[in-house]
Amino acid sequence: MISTRAWWLRAAAAFKVRRIIRRVHFLRNLLAIVPQDQMYMAAALFRTIFAQPDADTPAASFEQVRDQLDARIPRK
């Protein structure tokens, strides 16, 4: 029984690490296209997506952040 529990704990930890890695890579790609003088603003907006009180709100927050960044940062 202990080994089964350890397996689930390892799987949960691996999932969390993968989720964090995806978030970091997305932020890195976002900051690669943002002008240098707007990087801090874009990173702060991105962080607000994940600073939500429940699990359903980040999807709506992502839409708002995407629209704000689209309006402020010119496309290449």
- Angstrom distances, CA of residue 29 to CA of 13, 49, 59: 24, 16, 19
Burial of residue 42 (CB within 10 Å: 0-12, 13-18, 19+) is: buried
Mean pLDDT of the chain: 78
Position 9 scores a pLDDT of 67
The number of distinct structural domains making up the chain is 1
**What are the tens digits of pLDDT across the range 11-38?**
777 766 677 777 778 878 888 888 888 8
Residue type, 64: Q
Count of CB atoms within 10 A of residue 61's CB?
16
For residue 27, give its domain range: 2-72
Q: Side chain identity at 44, as an amino acid letter?
A: A
Pair 22, 49: CB distance under 8 Å: no
